[in-house]
Structure 1
Amino acid sequence: MRNNVKMNPVLKKELRTSMRNVRGSLLVIGYLAVLMLTLCGGLYIQSSYRGMITKNDAIGTFIFLMIVQFALISIISPTIASGAISSEREKQTLDILLTTDMSFLSIITGKLGASLSKIILLIISSTPIFVFLLSYIGINTLGIFGILIINIVAATFVGAIGIYYSTRFKKTIVATVFSYITIFLIYVGPVIMCAMLQVYKYNNGIQFDPAKQFYWYLLISPAVGFMTLIFSQLGISLTEIFGKTLEINFLGITSYMITIIFMIIATILIILLAARKIDPTRKKQHLFNLKKEKKI
């Protein structure tokens, strides 16, 4: 019996070409090499003076390793996605792609899916490294699933940002630069702002919680949401860093769940904007309206 499930043609084509590409293999090798060096270096530094690995050593290395993985995924994903459409323009194949029977939304989702597939491959390939550490730590299955989900959602979110700028700019390098600027403002901006407020608070003796001033700004930061999830699984509180506002639990919805929900909603909106941006009829209609206004 033939399989009636149809794969997105763009995704199918991208998967075929990427699997035959040497750069894909080098990406996986480089990614695993960084994680292995981080693992071995972290365990050696923390346990060298006592000659054995303790639970605290494993926890410290696990936190640092998860931060490194999250940072790598957040850096690699927009790099791959920001050239999805702009590279088609540079090769002069975008017009051919737009004349197919595929909808503009299908083209965008196919390109994003192809980028995301590489990230999922990286996450799966690094599973044995984390299983080794989890044997010392003892995080439950639900916690591991939550960490996996936020990694994939964050990769999709930053990938969608890269796709959008790829539709907006003709050059891949320009799209990549704007992607990183946007991601920096969303990821690191809230942390820097709260750190500056904390310093100002202690230097001037002012009694206020910095997180209250930028509460929602903190919640939309994937970096803060990720750290909140990791620390909550390990029983570590972020109160001293960001204040009590990040320890909310409204009807079972925690702060990192709000971050995940925000990223999902934002990703959908960005994908729709990107699909609208590559519509050639939209630009022609805009030019037609301008000419009509000039004649009047």
Structure 2
Amino acid sequence: MKSRLTNPVLAKEVKLRFRSPKSFIGILLYLLAMCIFVFGFIYTTTSLTGTIYFKPSESVILFTFLTFIQLGLVLFITPGLTAGTISGERERQTLPMLLTTSQSSFQIVTGKLLSSVLFLLLLIFAGLPVYSMVFLFGGISPVLLVKSLLFLFVTLLAIGSLGVLFSTLIRRTTVSMIATYGSMLFFSAVIPFLFLIIIQVNQFGAMGMTPSKSYAGHILASINPEIFFATLLEPEIGTGIQEMTQVTFPLWIGYLIFYGLITIISIWIATKKLRVNMKKHK
């Protein structure tokens, strides 16, 4: 039972990643960038307003910027960390040896995924002291911070799972990375564009009358990270989206269901295809 719960692949990947000086240099540069942004924002705001204090409304703006910076970190760094986890082993010709061990495909896939997820979580939690400075000025509740971190973790896990999936299905790391970044860009850039088109068509078809229910528009709004985080930070935006789509289903439930399914399906397919690809190659 104990051997099933332990994951040697995860232990090895964590040791290799966290012992690398590059990892801690990256964390240091990230924290320096966050400190420069926060203190620069506070200095610029107080200078423009001509006051010596920071207003709660300005604290909300700062928290919003920091949240979207964290979201951008998740969206753009996660594919780079996960898209080469399996294909990199294949290119180094070490995957056959890994598959001959007693580790199951599920342990290999989850070990590779969780090692990258843990590093990004370390980045996020390392920035919490800077992130939590907004509480000094008011306007932000701890519950909102917890919600933001929770949904960042859900997004991180889903994109990381897609990266591991493409890394398993595609032999070349470069192609796998392109596919992962393409999926991320579809969710973060194409979906908002489609949402605007559907809303415009729905409102144009109403011709001054009450718009009909737009389930497609509501689904697109609930699965786009930027739109969802905007509604999370500003509930009025969520109310406006519900008025435009005429659908009252909570956006956060749709977000959790969609990205939860992506995570589960991606891990399941990667687990099933990991050894199948090797047999075909042989």
Aligned to 1:38: 37
- The answer (yes or no) to whether the contact 1:89–1:170 under 8 Å persists in 2 is yes
Relative distance call for 1:202 and 1:216 in structure 2 (3 A) is closer
2:119 match: 118
Give the partner amino acid of 1:237: I
Shift of 1:71: 0.9
Once residues 253 and 135 of structure 2 are traced to their aligned partners in structure 1, the CA distance between those partners, rounded to angstroms, is 23
Corresponding residue for residue 215 of structure 1: 218
Shift of 1:144: 2.2
Deviation at 1:264, TM superposition (A): 1.3
Q: Which residue of 1 aligns with 2:189?
A: 188
- What is the CA distance between 1:75 and its match in structure 2? 1.1
The answer as to whether partners of 1:165 and 1:178 remain within 8 angstroms in 2 is yes
The alpha carbon displacement at 1:171 in A equals: 1.8
Shift of 1:192: 1.6
Spell out, residue by residue over 1:216-269, the C-alpha distance to the aligned partner (whole angstroms, 9 max, x if none): 12222233222222223xxx43444x452689665xxx3123202221121011
- Looking at structure 1, the residues matched to 191 and 242 of structure 2 have their Cα atoms a distance apart, in angstroms, of 13
CA gap 1:91/1:218 in 2 versus in 1, 3 angstroms? same
Amino acid at match of 1:216: I
Structure 1 Cα separation of the partners of residues 100 and 190 of structure 2: 41
SS in 2 for 1:137: coil
The one-letter amino acid of 1:77's match is T
Count of matched residue positions in the alignment of Structure 1 and Structure 2? 277
Q: Distance between the aligned counterparts of 1:170 and 1:219, measured in 2? A: 33
Q: How far 1:5 moved relative to its partner? A: 9.2
The residue that corresponds to 1:170 in the other structure is 171
Determine the structure 2 residue equivalent to 1:231: 234
Of 35-44 and 183-192, deviating more is: 35-44
SS at match of 2:71: helix
Compared with structure 1, are the counterparts of its residues 215 and 204 closer, same or farther at alpha carbon in structure 2 (3 Å cutoff)? closer
2: CA distance, partners of 1:169 / 1:5: 28
Identical columns (%): 26
Q: With structure 2 as the length reference, what TM-score do the two structures score?
A: 0.86
Distance 2:188 2:232 in 1: 15
Counterpart of 1:275 in structure 2: which amino acid?
T
Alpha carbons of 1:57 and 1:142: their partners in 2 closer, same or farther (altered >3 Å)? closer
1:15-60, Cα deviation, whole Å (9 max, x unpaired): 1111111221122123223322332333333332223311111111
CA distance in 2, matches of 1:45, 1:196: 37
* Match 1:269 to one of 251, 258, 265: 265
Alpha-carbon separation, structure 2, partners of 1:135 and 1:5: 46
Asked if 2 retains the 8 angstrom alpha-carbon contact of 1:210 and 1:243, the reply is no
Normalised TM-score (structure 1):
0.82
One-letter amino acid matched to 1:102: Q
Matched, 1:258 2:254: yes
**Structure 1 SS opposite 2:137:** helix
Which segment drifts farther, 184-193 or 120-129?
184-193
Code of the residue aligned with 1:266 in structure 2: it is I
Question: 1:74 maps to what in 2?
Answer: 75
CA shift in 2, pair 1:141/1:245, >3 Å:
farther
SS in 2 for 1:150: helix
Displacement of 1:281 after TM fit?
A: 7.3
Q: CA deviation at 1:188?
A: 2.3
Counting only pairs closer than 5 Å after superposition, residues 94-105 of structure 1 correspond to structure 2 as 94-105=95-106
Equivalent residue letter for 1:184: L
AA matched with 2:255: T
Q: Report the CA distance shift for 1:62/1:200 in structure 2 as closer, same or farther (over 3 A).
A: same
| Secondary structure of the structure 1 residue equivalent to 2:252 | helix
User: 5+ unaligned residues in a row in structure 2: which ranges?
Assistant: none
Cα offsets for 1:125-159 (capped at 9, x unmatched): 01111211123234333322211111111101000
Alignment equivalent of 2:275, drawn from 274, 279, 291? 279
